[in-house]
Structure 1
Amino acid sequence: MTPADRMQKPRYRYRHFGGFRLLLAMLVMLQHFAADLAPLPLARAFAPYPVGGIAVLVFFALSGFVITEAIDCIYRERAGAFLGNRLLRIVPHFLLAVALSMLAHEIFRATGGARLWRSQPSFPADAFAPINVALNFIGITPFIDRAIDYNFLDITWAVRVEMVFYLVMAGCIAIGARLPGKKGFTIAATAAALLLTPLFAFAVYGRGARMMEFLPYFGFGVGLYFATIGRRAGWLTVALSVPAMLWQSILQQSLEPVAGMPAPSLAGQLIMLGLLLGVLGVLAFSDIARGRDTDRVLGGLTYPLYLYHQDVLVLLLTFTVGYSYAVFVTGILLSLLVAMALTSLVDPMVTRYRDKVRGGALRAGKPARYALVRH
């Protein structure tokens, strides 16, 4: 890529995704707490609508948008820097969350907790076997779950899916940098999408790696980003992703009722998915000047809340008996406080290194090599 090509990098434009991302994380938390902390009437009310599962799918779409923007603005020729920044964002909180989950499980075992989940009284006796503990600490590695006997933090599955997307995108950056012209990344990403599409089809029918069934959600986000900067191919990608997402949702969304609970509502799930993706689309094209600092703070809490709320859940299940609205609300408030505290502890140290990898602490409206991208 020539110096002239580099000058044509698009500038980063801040979008109000922070509060929306936090909302998605809260939906995941609400689903888990409703299932395992709430009294039966509230658990039954949530049962037909897996709000957390839908939120994770929208997370994948949002990730496709934000990551593609970061690559387009900052990492076009820097695959190592891109992957390093992703790991800096993911790994510190993940390792801490896994360690805290192990501690919470040990407290549960030592105090003789009455029940771990609503349908699970305890956890396997060999969960603390050295090999299982070690594998949990590298649980974000794609496909490592096949070797893990017990997941101390079972929500890690979504982070593993994200890691596959990051690795694919890093490969596209590396290959694109070696192609002539300024569209090397676009060509490499298009080729990757074509090659991965059959894996998506196999996964939907249960004949391949299940994580590949989420490909169209990432594709929707990638296409949406390019649409926002005026590229027609972006709208084509969005248009192709929508029926693929519907296909995946119809075939794979759970329709089997949990014992004693109402049957899941496919119509309700699809409506929720459409509404949340619609909000994502509106925010992607919006240019809101006010409240950006607040929105950044809210967005910064998203990943910690997603991880640490399960640690809080295990502790509450350890020290409570039965189900109550008071414990349900306490769990929500405590999870938010823990997320805020650990964000304040971990993020300032990590951000310094992330800024070095990016090449600076960037702000919207500045040249691309100085724009702030937080995800």
Structure 2
Amino acid sequence: MVAALSVMLYHFAFRGEAAGELPSLDLPELLKTVARYGYLGVSMFFIISGFVISYSAEDRKPYDFLVSRFVRIYPTFLILMSLTAATIALSGNPQFHIDLKQYVANVLVFSLILGEPFVDGVYWSIVLEIVFYGWIFLLIALGQFRHILSILPIWIAFSFVNEVFIGSENLQNLFITEYSGFFSLGIVINKLKRKISLYGIALFFMAGAYSLFTALSGAAWYEEAYSVDFSREVIAGIIFASVAVFFLFINLKIDSRYWPVARLLGGATYALYLVHQNIGYIAVTALLDRFSAGSAIAIVSTAFIVFSLLFHLLVERRLNTLIKRYLLGFFTPKTRTA
């Protein structure tokens, strides 16, 4: 949830205005300065994804893994992408446009391949998540996931070569070479949590070093895109702190009384991440006639948090359970009775 909130703050208090998708906002400069680093929350998502997928893929049948990832990603994506498309179509905000062709392309998620832009800017990271799932599925199907710790150094080394020497965008997208370090960090952290080894520790530092390298290198893109400076020291500090906090969190002994709350907050993160950006820009813009920029952002952010919690509790959990039950049962042999 913290990672999603940091990304939302980045969009509302920095990127929206910097990218011209929000009008000029009268916000404290300190808030804008802090908010500009919120994009690093996406990297935290990738670490968490590597950790969770590494855990859930162990001893998993290929079809079971495929179903679990499909159910987690697609139903919520389709619903909230459709909600975003409808909001854009009905809002009349001149900054955002949607047509049927773009909507249909986004139903397939990989809309850029079809020459259509994403309905919402955050979808690029969802595409990378799906590509990551695809590679993990392939390893499971080939019976090679048990060798994942041997595969990671090859992936990281190849990623480094592409990012530094080759510079192929196709290789970057197919092999996630810009963010492979973060996914690898999550995988290694899961393995180290189960069993400490010198190899695992060495791999942790390798993945961490490459993650830091790509995070620092990527700052140049943000500086060019938004005409502001990003402190390399701050970026490094955020990366180190994020990994340290994640280590601390996964080793906490949470009282069983708080598990439902923790699951609710974690479960609602995906909906919050998907729904907040473009609908948020439209909502904040509409509220600026009546409220200050800070108040408008606070109102919209609170509304999204409440919406995401209710959506996860009342819709996502129930719908995903039904779909998963159906898909898993579809290929389960039926017991014949005499």
Instruction: Give the TM-score normalised by the residue count of structure 2.
Output: 0.82
The answer to whether structure 1 residue 194 and structure 2 residue 154 are counterparts is yes
Displacement of 1:297 in angstroms is: 1.1
Change (3 A) 1:100 1:311: farther
**Amino acid across the alignment from 2:141:** A
Residue 89 of structure 2, aligned match among 98, 106, 113: 106
Q: How many residues align?
A: 311
The answer to whether structure 1 residue 213 and structure 2 residue 213 are counterparts is no
The answer to whether structure 1 residue 244 and structure 2 residue 244 are counterparts is no
Task: Tell me if structure 2 keeps the 8 A contact 1:250–1:266.
Answer: yes
Which residue does 1:367 correspond to in 2? none
Structure with the larger helix share:
2
Change (3 A) 1:300 1:189: same
Which residue does 1:301 correspond to in 2? 268
Q: Deviations over 1:119-138 (max 9, x none)?
A: xx5235xx41x432211112
Instruction: Give the TM-score normalised by the residue count of structure 1.
Output: 0.75
Change (3 A) 1:283 1:218: same
Query: 1:95-134 residue pairs with structure 2 within 5 A?
Result: 95-109=78-92, 113=93, 122-123=95-96, 127-128=98-99, 130-134=100-104
The answer to whether structure 1 residue 93 and structure 2 residue 98 are counterparts is no
Q: Deviations over 1:151-186 (max 9, x none)?
A: 21110111111111111111111111xxxxxxx522
Query: 1:318-333 residue pairs with structure 2 within 5 A?
Result: 319-321=286-288, 324-333=293-302
Question: Which stretch shifts more, 285-294 or 302-311?
Answer: 285-294
The answer to whether structure 1 residue 62 and structure 2 residue 48 are counterparts is yes
**Amino acid across the alignment from 1:88:** V
Which residue does 2:332 correspond to in 1? none
Query: 1:1-375 residue pairs with structure 2 within 5 A?
Result: 22-35=1-14, 36=16, 39-42=25-28, 45-47=31-33, 50-72=36-58, 74-75=59-60, 78-109=61-92, 113=93, 122-123=95-96, 127-128=98-99, 130-139=100-109, 141=110, 144-176=111-143, 184-187=144-147, 190-191=150-151, 194-195=154-155, 197-203=157-163, 206-208=167-169, 209-210=172-173, 211-232=176-197, 233-254=199-220, 256=223, 262-290=228-256, 291-317=258-284, 319-321=286-288, 324-343=293-312, 344-354=314-324
Displacement of 1:309 in angstroms is: 1.4
Cα distance in structure 2, aligned partners of 1:190 and 1:131: 43
Cα distance in structure 2, aligned partners of 1:44 and 1:29: 17
Unmatched tracts of structure 2, length 5 or more: 17-21, 330-338
Cα distance in structure 2, aligned partners of 1:194 and 1:104: 44
Which residue does 1:369 correspond to in 2? none
| Superposition CA RMSD, Å | 2.7
Cα distance in structure 1, aligned partners of 2:40 and 2:87: 27
SS in 1 for 2:229: coil
Task: Tell me if structure 1 keeps the 8 A contact 2:288–2:296.
Answer: no
Change (3 A) 1:98 1:204: farther
Cα distance in structure 2, aligned partners of 1:135 and 1:196: 32
**Amino acid across the alignment from 2:271:** P
- Greater RCO, CA 8 A, separation 6+: 1
Unmatched tracts of structure 1, length 5 or more: 1-21, 114-120, 177-183, 360-375
Cα distance in structure 2, aligned partners of 1:60 and 1:204: 21
Task: Tell me if structure 2 keeps the 8 A contact 1:48–1:263.
Answer: no
Task: Tell me if structure 2 keeps the 8 A contact 1:312–1:335.
Answer: no
Displacement of 1:286 in angstroms is: 2.9
**Amino acid across the alignment from 1:242:** G
Task: Tell me if structure 1 keeps the 8 A contact 2:106–2:119.
Answer: yes
SS in 2 for 1:50: helix
Change (3 A) 1:339 1:148: farther
Cα distance in structure 1, aligned partners of 2:31 and 2:195: 42
Q: Deviations over 1:200-230 (max 9, x none)?
A: 4313564332532100101111111110111
**Amino acid across the alignment from 1:95:** L
Displacement of 1:277 in angstroms is: 1.1
Q: What's the % identity of the aligned pairs?
A: 21
SS in 2 for 1:41: coil
